[in-house]
A and B are shown apart, each in its own frame.
Chain A
Amino acid sequence: MQESWVFVGIFFLIAAVFPAAPIILQSLILGPKKNNPVKNSTYECGIETFGDTWVQFKMQYYIFTLVFVVFDVGMMFLFPFAVAYGQAPAFTLLVVIGFLAIICSALVYVWRKGALRWV
């Protein structure tokens, strides 16, 4: 098992080299370097760039992410049960169904609040 994790660790290192090598090759060696301020300005339909990009924006995206967090944390607890499911006695199903019901009540609450409707 430890060997597998060593393999995954090496995989991450090599996987970083694979995309980084062509990018560095292009930006340092192969590509031309003729910068000017107009070329470097950000694209905006051809007109001159104006205003700030990092502004406060639509709240709805944030709400969706919050709902996601509720589910994501809850769902992770399903996997230990799924692994032990083969040996688990039938009684434990009630516990897990109760657990799912609690998570889903959050979904029902958000749904009733109208937060899932795109406005």
Chain B
Amino acid sequence: MDFFSDPIAFIANLLRTWLAFIPEPWLSLLLMTFGVVVVGSAALVLPLFTIWLERRVIARMQDRIGPNRVGYQGLLQTIADAIKLMTKEDITPLGADKVVYNLAPILVVISVITMWAVLPFAVNIYGADLNIGVLYIVAVGSLGTLAIMLGGWASNNKYALLGAFRTVAQLVCYEVPMILSMVVPVLIASSWALAQGQTDFNPMSLKDIVVAQQSVPFLLVAPVAALIFFISSVAETGRAPFDLLEAESEIVAGFNIEYSGMKFGMFMVAEFLHAFTVGALVATLFLGGWHGPWATQYPLLGMVYFLAKSFAAYFLIVLMRAALPRIRIDHLFEINWKFLVPLAVAAIVVTMVVNKLVDPAVVGLGWNALALFASNLVVAWVAFNWASAQARWLRRQEEAKLQALPDLPGGHDEAHSPAQPAGAH
């Protein structure tokens, strides 16, 4: 067993021989704790880099330069910011619920970091291989929603409370299409594993979902589910264009308005890490995870593929943040309940039925993937046409309402009114 074929087992064996004087259950616990600290600190160090990356990218898109003074190209800017936050006074507002107020920033970071426990970085590099990995992601993710609600509620501030209300509405609602779209990869993984004759396979574990994408990534098999998952999990992060819970121009800073110093820093870390984690989840569930040339022989290479795919998805999230304006609150809910949720249900039903009709065990994976892709295109086409027909109908109604209004002076069609001579202004 050498380092390149199984790095985790290699390091574990090395440590086991060094620490052989510790009795057995404690040695395993110690090694696990070591692994947890490595994964957790990797996850926490990452935002130091991604915050810088995001600021530079968005600065470029807005024709600015961005932070470039501290360190090479401004790489140490985030560390400087963190040091500055550390030396600030810790303020708890009067009348705040002290326990909950101090718990919220810790809870929000816990909810994001613990997602990393089940991410498969390479063929044999992963923290825990839970047989209900997908459910674990959902459960831990909704802990973050709870933390944001608690923080907004406990601050005893009206803006923070408004932010907390919007959290209830937005983060909670967007969980519905997110969970529904996660069912589709589980379905396909379940049937493909059987068709490939794999035994000891858990369709809900993230590691095995990646294994099932060996020949075709699920993005090509379930593009509709991938799109729904991407949109709704970006909404779950609460970033632009879905940043209603901390909309600067409306409710100042929303749920984190009363937080300062490192507590505010923890909300920032959680937000930026969550964005990258969404990229990593998209890579795991839909882009084929660590799969790539020679990834099975050399797990470290697989880790590179995984990080590259995660960064590609993350970069798309950053571009969305830079390019799209904040979405209006009524549009936010209408997109969710009237478009994404029915579309996700339709995607599940179509995937289920088509996958049984064109059985991968009978016709082979290739034809099955082709049939699923074609059916997804049909679903997307129908949904798009239905949505645009609805939009056209709504616009006609609005126009009819405007037509019915009496012509008021200074009204909307004053310029075209024949009663007003052109030279009157």
| CA–CA, A97 and B29, complex, Å | 45
Q: Tell me the complex Cα distance, A54–B172, Å.
A: 21
Contacts of A86 in B (CB 8 A): 190-195, 203
Check if A42 sits within 8 Å of B203, measured CB to CB: no
Q: Please, which residue of chain A has its CB at the minimum distance from the CB of B178?
A: A75
* A 21-56 contacts with B by CB, 8 A: 22-23, 25-27, 30-35, 37, 39-44, 53-54
Find chain B residues with CB under 8 A from A111 CB: 337-338
Q: Are B157 and A43 in contact (CB under 8 A)?
A: yes
> Which of chain B's residues have a CB closer than 8 A to the CB of A109?
none
A5-B128 CB under 8 A given contacts A40-B92, A40-B94, A83-B203: yes
Select from chain B the residue with minimum beta-carbon distance to A90.
B356
The smallest C-beta distance from B167 to any residue of chain A, in angstroms, reads 9
Flag if B36 contacts A11 (CB, 8 Å): yes
Other A-B contacts than A1-B131, A107-B342, 14 sampled, CB-CB below 8 A, are: A10-B32, A14-B40, A15-B114, A18-B44, A19-B266, A27-B261, A31-B89, A44-B157, A53-B95, A60-B169, A72-B176, A79-B204, A96-B352, A116-B337
Complex Cα distance A6/B130, Å? 11
* Assembled-state Cα–Cα distance A71/B135 (Å): 15
| CB closest chain-A residue, reference B201 | A86
- Of residues 345 through 375 on chain B, the ones whose CB sits less than 8 Å from some CB of chain A are 345, 348-349, 352-353, 355-356
Query: Is the C-beta of B77 less than 8 angstroms from some C-beta in chain A?
Result: no
- Chain B residues whose C-beta falls within 8 Å of the C-beta of A104 in the assembled complex: 342, 345
Please determine whether B109 and A18 come into contact, CB atoms closer than 8 angstroms.
yes
In the complex, the answer to whether B172 meets A68 with C-beta atoms within 8 Å is yes
Give Cα A60–Cα B332 distance, bound, in whole angstroms: 14
Which residue from chain A places its CB closest to the CB of B204 in the assembled complex?
A: A83
In the complex, how many angstroms separate the beta carbon of A33 from the nearest chain B beta carbon?
Answer: 7
A87 and B191 alpha carbons, distance in the complex (Å): 8
Of chain A, the residue at the smallest CB distance from B87 is A30
CB of B176 within 8 A of CB of A75, answer yes
A100:B186 contact, CB within 8 angstroms: no
Q: Is B156 part of the binding interface, using a Cβ–Cβ cutoff of 8 Å?
A: yes
- Residue B7 lies at the interface, judged by CB distance under 8 Å to chain A: no
- Taken residue by residue from 92 to 115, chain A's Cβ proximity to chain B (1 for < 8 Å, 0 otherwise) reads as 010011001000100100010000
From B158-166, B213-221, B280-288, B300-308, give the one contacting chain A.
B158-166
Interfacial chain B residues near A57, Cβ < 8 Å: 161, 165
| B127 close to chain A: CB less than 8 A | yes
A78 to B134, CA, bound (A): 12
Contact A23 B168, CB 8 Å, known A85-B191, A111-B337: no
- CA separation between A21 and B161, bound complex, in Å? 27
Distance, CA A7 to CA B92, complexed state (A): 34
Task: Give bound CA distance, A71 to B47, whole Å.
Answer: 33
Name A10's contact: one of B33, B85, B92, B190 (CB within 8 Å): B33
Q: A4-B128, A26-B261, A37-B94 are in contact. Are A65 and B172 (CB under 8 A)?
A: yes
User: What's the Cα separation between A118 and B244 when bound, in Å?
Assistant: 15
Q: How many residues of A contact B (CB 8 A)?
A: 67
* Chain B, residue nearest A40 (CB): B94
Interface residues of B in 83-133 (CB under 8 A from A): 85-96, 102, 105-106, 109-110, 113-114, 117-118, 127-132
B358 to chain A: closest CB distance in Å? 12
A54 to chain B, nearest CB (A): 7
Note all chain B residues with C-beta closer than 8 A to A54: 153, 156, 161
A117 to B37, CA, bound (A): 47
Q: Given A7-B35, A75-B180, check contact A23 B203 (CB 8 Å).
A: no
Of all A-B residue pairs in the complex, the 6 with the closest CB atoms, nearest first, are: A118-B330, A27-B90, A86-B194, A4-B128, A19-B109, A82-B186
What are 20 A-B contacts with C-beta separation under 8 Å?
A5-B128, A7-B117, A10-B32, A14-B33, A19-B109, A19-B269, A23-B261, A42-B258, A61-B166, A64-B168, A65-B168, A67-B337, A79-B134, A82-B183, A83-B190, A86-B195, A87-B194, A93-B353, A118-B329, A118-B330
Least CB distance from B219 to A in Å reads: 18
- In the bound complex, how far is the Cα of B163 from the Cα of A57, in angstroms? 13
B2 at the interface (CB under 8 A from A): no
What is the minimal beta-carbon distance from B327 to any residue of chain A, in angstroms?
Answer: 12
Q: Which of A7, A41, A97 contacts B349 (CB 8 A)?
A: A97
B117 near A11 (CB under 8 angstroms)? Answer: yes
Asked if B265 is at the interface of the complex by the 8 Å CB criterion, the answer is yes
In the complex, are the beta carbons of A53 and B156 less than 8 A apart?
Answer: yes
Bound complex: CA A30 to CA B187 (Å): 52
A118 touches B40 (CB 8 A): no
- Interface membership of B148, Cβ < 8 A: no
**In the bound complex, what is the Cα–Cα distance between A58 and B40 (angstroms)?**
40
Q: With A and B bound together, what is the CA distance between A16 and B37 in angstroms?
A: 12
Partner of B106, one of A19, A30, A60, A76: A19
- If A15-B113, A31-B88, A37-B94 touch, whether A23 touches B263 (CB-CB below 8 Å) is yes
